[in-house]
């Protein structure tokens, strides 16, 4: 059989980071061990019942069995705009400032293709969500990394970026609440971002995947709440985390009209929009009672408290995440991210993600997803304690 060669774009794609973690976990499980898997970011709770019901009813309507309008239904764009007004006090023109996405990842991967040319430069957070690099690879653009350091609360310091890189940069990815560090943005940081981006004509792409998950009564802030943000950027929102809808593949981008137009143009050529019944259920999620969201945030906050307090009680000095559902933990002296993650998996059958998989500046940390029950988290602590590391 003829062996077709993959395109340069595909050959440039980075290795899928989680593939090796999944293989290691499968290996330990195949040996008959019970693994507590805290390595991935897949929400463990079901989608709230009223959203599932909405899908069931919508799926029965023959009108929903047809092609959707290419740009998605206007009622879903209206719902996204109502959501932003209600949750963040942000006004959006639902006709021109909202694009419907097949989940946040699709939008994030599409954006470099929408706005950049081969050889252009993008600023990417390090550590950061690995899929930003999938989009930059497909668009054949160059990624330059912005270190996220603990002493700066994991916010990039624009003053320390190389001036040549800044001159070349055309786009920047940001993500707060942050995966993997659990850090939050401040108003002041977003104000600095707007003025930096305007000064250097950089399009800001703020990934707001964890926008609903803030702890200690502090609600995460939207980039679009910052004055002038819409002039220079967009925000990508997903229903995956807020409503436990990761498998449904629905999200939206909001903000700068020219960027929204570019996304819709690319999507007109790549797809017809989402299954209409999913669009109806997504509108239900955004517009109906938000009690399910408060309950979910309380669940993650309780898990965070149990886990962080538990680790501190066994002598591991760790910081508590302020938002998201991740804890970002410094590894004990004598280990690297990878040797420690392997050690926990092999000796305690607890899987965590090695921090270096998220970038060079992730070295020295591991990421824990708070995506299992309080009982399992407590058991993970007992298993770690039995290693007598601290």
Ligand X SMILES: Cc1ncc(COP(=O)(O)O)c(C=O)c1O
Q: What residue ranges bind ligand X (CB under 6 A)?
A: 41, 103-105, 129, 175, 179, 207, 209, 238, 240, 246, 251
Rounded to a whole number of angstroms, the minimum distance from the CB of residue 134 to ligand X is 11
Rounded to a whole number of angstroms, the minimum distance from the CB of residue 274 to ligand X is 12
Rounded to a whole number of angstroms, the minimum distance from the CB of residue 313 to ligand X is 29
Nearer to ligand X, 103 or 359 (CB): 103
Helices (H), the chain: 8-12, 17-30, 49-59, 74-88, 103-115, 132-138, 163-168, 187-200, 229-232, 239-242, 257-270, 276-287, 291-313, 337-343, 374-385
CA distances from 329 to 95, 191, 217, 353, 365 (A): 43, 29, 23, 10, 5
Maximum CA extent, the chain: 62
Nearer to ligand X, 212 or 384 (CB): 212
Rounded to a whole number of angstroms, the minimum distance from the CB of residue 209 to ligand X is 4
Nearer to ligand X, 179 or 256 (CB): 179
Question: How far is Cα 155 from Cα 178, in angstroms, rounded to an integer?
Answer: 9
Rounded to a whole number of angstroms, the minimum distance from the CB of residue 238 to ligand X is 3
Residue whose C-alpha is closest to residue 134's, from 112, 101, 102: 112
Nearer to ligand X, 116 or 253 (CB): 253
Three-state DSSP at 68 gives coil
∠ CA 17-326-334, nearest 5°, is 70
Question: How far is Cα 245 from Cα 228, in angstroms, rounded to an integer?
Answer: 31
Question: How far is Cα 184 from Cα 148, in angstroms, rounded to an integer?
Answer: 12
Nearer to ligand X, 133 or 348 (CB): 133
Rounded to a whole number of angstroms, the minimum distance from the CB of residue 340 to ligand X is 22
Rounded to a whole number of angstroms, the minimum distance from the CB of residue 326 to ligand X is 8
Rounded to a whole number of angstroms, the minimum distance from the CB of residue 179 to ligand X is 4
Nearer to ligand X, 183 or 384 (CB): 183
Q: Which residues of 336-373 are buried (b: 16+ CB within 10 A; e: fewer)?
A: ebbebbebbbeebbbbbbbbbbbbebbbebbbbbbbbe
Nearer to ligand X, 68 or 175 (CB): 175
Question: How far is Cα 118 from Cα 363, in angstroms, rounded to an integer?
Answer: 30
Residue whose C-alpha is closest to residue 84's, from 100, 98, 96: 98
Nearer to ligand X, 87 or 207 (CB): 207
């Amino acid at each position: 059989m003829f062996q077709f060669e993959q395109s340069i774009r595909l050959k440039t794609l980075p290795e899928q980071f989680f593939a090796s973690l999944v293989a290691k976990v499968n290996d330990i499980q195949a040996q008959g061990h019970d693994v507590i898997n805290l390595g991935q970011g897949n929400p463990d709770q079901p989608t709230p019942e009223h959203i599932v019901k909405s899908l069931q009813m919508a799926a029965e309507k023959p009108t929903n069995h047809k092609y959707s309008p290419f740009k998605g239904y206007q009622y879903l764009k209206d719902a996204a705009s109502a959501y932003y007004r209600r949750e963040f006090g942000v006004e959006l023109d639902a006709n021109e400032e909202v694009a419907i996405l097949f989940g946040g990842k699709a939008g994030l991967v599409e954006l470099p293709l929408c706005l950049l040319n081969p050889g252009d430069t993008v600023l990417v957070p390090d550590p950061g969500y690995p899929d930003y690099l999938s989009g930059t690879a497909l668009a054949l653009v160059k990624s330059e990394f912005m270190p996220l350091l603990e002493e700066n609360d994991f916010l990039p310091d624009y003053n320390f970026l190389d001036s040549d890189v800044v001159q070349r940069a055309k786009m920047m990815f940001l993500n707060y609440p942050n995966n993997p560090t659990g850090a939050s943005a401040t108003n002041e940081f977003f104000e600095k971002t707007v003025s930096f981006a305007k000064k250097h004509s950089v399009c800001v792409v703020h990934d707001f995947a964890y926008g609903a998950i803030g702890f200690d009564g502090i609600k995460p802030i939207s980039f679009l709440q910052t004055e002038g943000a819409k002039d220079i950027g967009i925000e990508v929102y997903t229903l995956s985390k807020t409503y436990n809808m990761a498998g449904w593949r629905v999200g939206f981008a909001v903000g700068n009209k020219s960027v929204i137009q570019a996304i819709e143009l690319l999507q007109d050529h790549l797809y017809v929009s989402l299954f209409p019944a999913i669009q109806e259920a997504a509108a239900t999620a955004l517009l109906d009672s938000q009690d399910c969201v408060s309950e979910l945030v309380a669940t993650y906050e309780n898990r965070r408290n149990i886990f962080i307090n538990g680790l501190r009680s066994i002598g591991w000095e760790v910081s508590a995440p302020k938002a998201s559902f991740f804890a970002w933990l410094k590894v004990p002296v004598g280990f690297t991210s990878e040797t420690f993650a392997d050690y926990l998996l092999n000796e305690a059958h607890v899987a965590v993600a090695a921090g270096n998989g998220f970038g060079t500046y992730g070295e020295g940390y591991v990421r824990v997803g708070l995506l299992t029950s309080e009982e399992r988290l407590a058991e993970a602590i007992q298993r770690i304690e039995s290693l007598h590391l601290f």
